Structure formats: C-alpha cells, structure tokens
Amino acid sequence: MKNVKFEDLGLIEYKNAWDYQENLFASYLKIKAENRDLPENDQKEIEGNVIFCEHPNVYTLGKSGEQNNLLINDQFLTKIQATYFKTNRGGDITYHGPGQIVGYPIIDLERFNLQVKQYIANLEESIILTLKEYGIESERLDGATGVWLDTRTNKARKICAIGVKASRFITMHGFAFNVNTNLEYFNHINPCGFIDKGVTSMEKELGEKQDFEKVKDVLKGKMEQVFGMNLRK
C-alpha cells in the first residue's frame, strides 16, 4: 500500500480548487524533472494527493468540448446562480454542484505502474464498487468515460463523469459523482456532449437523500482497495 495524502476541502469555489490542483501539479512536475538527473537512490518520491470537495453551481468545459453544449447564456447563468469555466482537462461539458462528490487525484501514475487508460478504469471501478455497496448496479459504456446505469437500454444514464489531465504521468482533475445532486442543472447542457442519454444520482435511484459523509467514506475505502493506496490525512 502506497501512502497518499487525503484532503477533504468541503465546499470550495471551482477556481480555488483548480488553482490548488495546479500548484500541486506544478510542484510534482518539478520533482519529476529534477529526478531525471539524479541516481535512483537520491530521487524524491512523489507522495501525491487525493482531494474530495464540493463546488457551488458551476459548468466546466473540457479542452475538446463544444461551447454549444452549454445551452444557456451569461444572463441565465447569473439567474440560476451558476458560473462557467473552460478547463484544461479531457472530456466535454459537465456540471458540478452541492451534493456531488468531486474527486481530484494528483498522483504519479508511474509510482502505481499505471497508464492513463487503466487509471481512468480504476476511477470508474472505485465508483462501481461504491454503488454496489448500496445495491446499485452500474457499468462502463463503450466509447464514453464515466459510470453508467442501464447501458443496454434506451434509459442509459450517467451517475459519475470523469475528465482528467496527465503530463509526464502526473494527473489532475478527476471525477464528479452524483450523490444528492440537483439534477435540474443538467437540463441546461448536453452532459459530456450527449444529447440522447440522461443523468442520475444516488438520491434519485434510491428514492431518498443519502448520508453524504458515509458515501465519501465508502468511496475512499474503495479507492484504497482498487489503487493499492493508503489515504491518510
């Protein structure tokens, strides 16, 4: 088990969390660059971070996303008390808001012997195993990242979006897992660029609000299990 620093930042503005990630990301890239010129025994290990948080209402667009997947103008954004950011992660547009667990792992994939594709699969697996604890069967969808329900029907719906960035095997950005999320905000976008698929949450699937802190604890344990990491404060 590899030690990784765990932080729960609670409710935090999207830009503040992004800046915090960028600072960690840059510091780890610097260590990687310095390590290249050092003997193996003198190289610094990158412990890494896993951050959990929630954001006030915000829409974020990935670098390959389409601006027209945001279906509202600035005036309407203000009316619904939401903000909008173009980001440097992969993926298209998504929504973050209260009641959603947003996870930002800033880790060195080489330390875990992972390629980016397997890293994303591990994030998905952590969510799938968490949902299983609550009796919700979920899965992957061919051609799309994230975690989905009922993919073989016309009622396919996403419960967790994933969009990451990686450089020199250092990661940032991550996942957005709908627990008690207000799903009405998804009506103003084509979530992740899809126009023919829905979104859902644990609250919607189970018919009642969930203990948010408990879900975080379960997810944290599943990430430790899947990645072989020890998340410590």
Say what the pLDDT of residue 88 is: 85
Domain ranges of the chain: 2-232
Decide if pLDDT at 195 tops 70.
no
- Catalytic: which of 70, 170, 192, 199? 192
CB-facing half-sphere around the CA of 91: CA atoms within 13 A: 26
53 catalytic? Reply is: no
Sorting pLDDT into bands at 50, 70 and 90, what band is 192? low
Q: For residue range 62-98, list pLDDT tens digits in order.
A: 887 777 777 777 888 888 889 988 888 877 788 999 9
Q: pTM to 2 decimals? A: 0.93
* 18-76 residue pLDDT tens: 999 999 999 999 999 998 888 888 889 999 999 999 999 999 988 877 777 777 778 88
Q: Among 3.30.930.10, 3.40.50.620, 3.20.20.70, 3.40.50.1000, what is the CATH number of 2-232?
A: 3.30.930.10
Predicted confidence at residue 146, as pLDDT, reads 94
